[in-house]
Chain A
Amino acid sequence: MTQKTLLKLAWQSIVKNKMRTLLTMLGIVIGVGAVIVMVAVGQGAQSQIEAQISSLGTNLIVITPGSTAAGGVSQGAGTFNRLTVDDAIKLKDQATTLTGVSPVINARAVVVGPQGNWRTSINGVSTDYFTIRNWAPTSGDLFVDADLKSGRKIALIGATVARNLFPDIDPVGAEIRIGQVPFTVVGLMAPKGQNAGGQDQDDVVLMPYTTAQTRLSGNVRIGQILASTFSPGDIPAAQQEITDIMREAHRLGDNPDDFTVRNQSEIAAAATSTTSVMSGLLAAIASVSLIVGGIGIMNIMLVSVTERTREIGIRMAIGARGSDVLVQFLVESIVMSLIGGIIGLLAGYGGSLLLGSLTGWHTVVPMSAVFLAVGFSGAVGVFFGFYPARKAAGMNPIEALRYE
């Protein structure tokens, strides 16, 4: 028997029993569909987080004070346990691998505008900040180095702040007050949305760090230093260089680092590990239904073998070998489960799009899931089809012919 005739025979008996075939495939359709939807939801969540992290900036390196590993360990005399603006200036001057360095001086304060007030986060940054974070204003202009030197009282506001302080009017050129100090709004930043931690990145007022240092009262500290490299490949070298310069600047000697240097992929990995566990769990639950679908195939195939005992007898009488019958039934179950798998794939794809549009979740069907689903459903066909097929092949033709 050629492969073509085998396929033809299997196909004949598949289309001859449409209802049976449909019900058999349903289990696989649901199984594969469920796996696809679950993987799509999981992948969607993951890729959304990745997108949010890359919205932090390109080739981003974050330097924060202290380190969790050093937490609780008393620092030696003469060492610094805080980041300073000087650190940022040193990095900017000495490091060769960095394209930009910006201190981020952070404070929280009430900002008073012409139409209301709003408590928000005030960030004092350098001009590099905007290139590091890949962030541009939608109207107005960024501040320049001269503004930094003179400590001008100007501010750029995020979209959330603008919405609350200037619901009706264009904020550019308007005056706001932070504490007792009046500032001129020179630009409105493009909306960036939430970050991976769920924080609103647009709920912020940006100003030159020199201004922040001198004009803001209260708890003014440098929360972090942001830096960026030319390309992702430079990141490990840059991290090493930053560490060297920082240790030198803080005169750490043999003491452990009093700062932490992290790159974007580390941040991303931390954030995505939770979601990947979740999506793995979802896929595992969904694959249970795939196994149930496979058992459904085996069940139907066993019934089908009994029901078609006479047919098997006829085939054997006219010269079919046991292996011919085995392969025929096996091909039938594989074809059924593969078609079920492909329908399930389409159903799962449609389902994840539907789910996405209903719930607003971001869903992504990865190519690997497509291959996995189709491959797995084929394997289900082989695995659960083999026992019934072997039963058919082992029949005695005389008894099979006599079967009523």
Chain B
Amino acid sequence: MTPGDVGAAQGMPVIELHGVKKIYQMGTNKVFALNGIDLAVAAGEFLAIMGASGSGKSTLMNVIGCLDVPSEGSYVLDGTRVNGLNRNALADLRNQKIGFVFQGFNLLARTSALENVELPLLYDRNRRWHDTKALAREALTKVGLGERLEHQPSELSGGQQQRVAIARALVTQPTLLLADEPTGNLDSRMSIDVMSIFQALNDQGITVVLVTHELDVAQYARRIVEVKDGRLRSDHPVGARHNAVDDLRVLDAANPEPQEGVA
């Protein structure tokens, strides 16, 4: 798996938003969920989008994730102009370019980890993938779940479920890994654990966009933008970037409990 090859890396913008507005009509009122967003994310970046609830960060994530289209402005994802695409084209774009990781894991219940991870490969229009089972197995091994291929979500811990979700996001070799509050349902140790995976993936060159309202979590990114009232308020690199692997080591040293199934 080599997304974000060195050649395609630094400088080439993966995400380009210009004057993006999202307007909802609530009765006679117009609500500006997004009110003029300009944002560029280069390949290989690790961006955290922060904001309180109601700030518009979820809407921004939906737009970036091609689940929604902007009312005004333009959005170019990895060279593809997203505005004006129909439902099917958006679905194909999500399948080919974006890997989602959600707060609630969003795995299919009563479906094995392997089948969950295999699913996005099956929806590929261009039939790019052949041995989908092997690819899914490879992705699960990569997130440290090579031993739990046949486990169903209910048989896995929260951290492990999120790892399955990350494997599912990775398996299509997307241009962009889009994580929406990925640690929201996890305790602090598991949160750091998940962040360590994101950091490791980012170190391999994968572009990661993380939506969160926790500053602790955002500290693992390289760059933070804050959203408020549908606009970007600040955009700055992370000064003292945390290293999740180090934090884990510190945590485990202070709290020598038996580790929960982490490879």
Cα–Cα, bound, A2→B108 (Å): 20
In the complex formed, the residue of A with least CB distance to B88 is A321
Are B95 and A318 touching (Cβ within 8 A)? Answer: yes
Q: Which of A107-115, A307-315, A339-347 contacts B (4 or more CB under 8 A)?
A: A307-315
Range of interface residues on A (Cβ < 8 Å): 20 to 34
Q: Which of B9-17, B117-125, B185-193 contacts A (4 or more CB under 8 A)?
A: B117-125
List the B side residues contacting A314 at CB < 8 Å: 106-108
Question: In this assembly, does B168 line the interface, its C-beta being within 8 Å of a C-beta of chain A?
Answer: yes
Contact with B along A343-354 (1 / 0, CB 8 A): 000000000000
List the A side residues contacting B78 at CB < 8 Å: none
Are A317 and B100 touching (Cβ within 8 A)? Answer: yes
Question: In this assembly, does A397 line the interface, its C-beta being within 8 Å of a C-beta of chain B?
Answer: yes
Are B94 and A318 touching (Cβ within 8 A)? Answer: yes
Question: In this assembly, does B204 line the interface, its C-beta being within 8 Å of a C-beta of chain A?
Answer: no
- Choose one: A1, A310, A311, A317; the contact of B94 (CB below 8 Å): A317
Are B122 and A317 touching (Cβ within 8 A)? Answer: no
Question: In this assembly, does A320 line the interface, its C-beta being within 8 Å of a C-beta of chain B?
Answer: yes
In the complex formed, the residue of B with least CB distance to A8 is B122
Known: A1-B122, A5-B122. A316 touches B110 (CB 8 A): no
List the A side residues contacting B111 at CB < 8 Å: 12, 16
Q: How many residues of B contact A (CB 8 A)?
A: 29
Are A320 and B106 touching (Cβ within 8 A)? Answer: no
In the complex formed, the residue of A with least CB distance to B116 is A314
- Choose one: B88, B100, B110, B124; the contact of A322 (CB below 8 Å): B88
List the B side residues contacting A62 at CB < 8 Å: none
Are B123 and A318 touching (Cβ within 8 A)? Answer: yes
Known: A12-B115, A321-B92, A397-B67. A315 touches B123 (CB 8 A): yes
Question: In this assembly, does B96 line the interface, its C-beta being within 8 Å of a C-beta of chain A?
Answer: yes
Question: In this assembly, does B62 line the interface, its C-beta being within 8 Å of a C-beta of chain A?
Answer: yes
Are B123 and A319 touching (Cβ within 8 A)? Answer: yes
In the complex formed, the residue of A with least CB distance to B99 is A318
Q: List 26 contacting pairs A-B, 8 Å CB cutoff, sorted by A.
A: A1-B122, A2-B127, A9-B122, A12-B111, A310-B106, A314-B106, A314-B107, A316-B91, A316-B94, A317-B94, A317-B100, A317-B102, A317-B106, A318-B94, A318-B123, A319-B95, A319-B120, A319-B124, A319-B172, A321-B88, A322-B88, A322-B91, A323-B88, A324-B91, A398-B67, A401-B106
Known: A16-B110, A401-B102. 8 other contacts (CB 8 A): A2-B127, A12-B111, A317-B65, A317-B94, A319-B172, A320-B95, A321-B92, A322-B88
Interface residues of A (CB under 8 A from B): 1-2, 5, 9, 12, 16, 310-311, 313-324, 397-398, 401
Interface residues of B (CB under 8 A from A): 62, 65, 67-68, 87-88, 91-92, 94-96, 100, 102, 106-111, 115, 119-120, 122-125, 127, 168, 172
What 10 pairs across the A-B complex have the smallest Cβ distances?
A319-B95, A318-B120, A319-B123, A16-B110, A321-B91, A5-B122, A314-B106, A319-B94, A321-B88, A320-B123
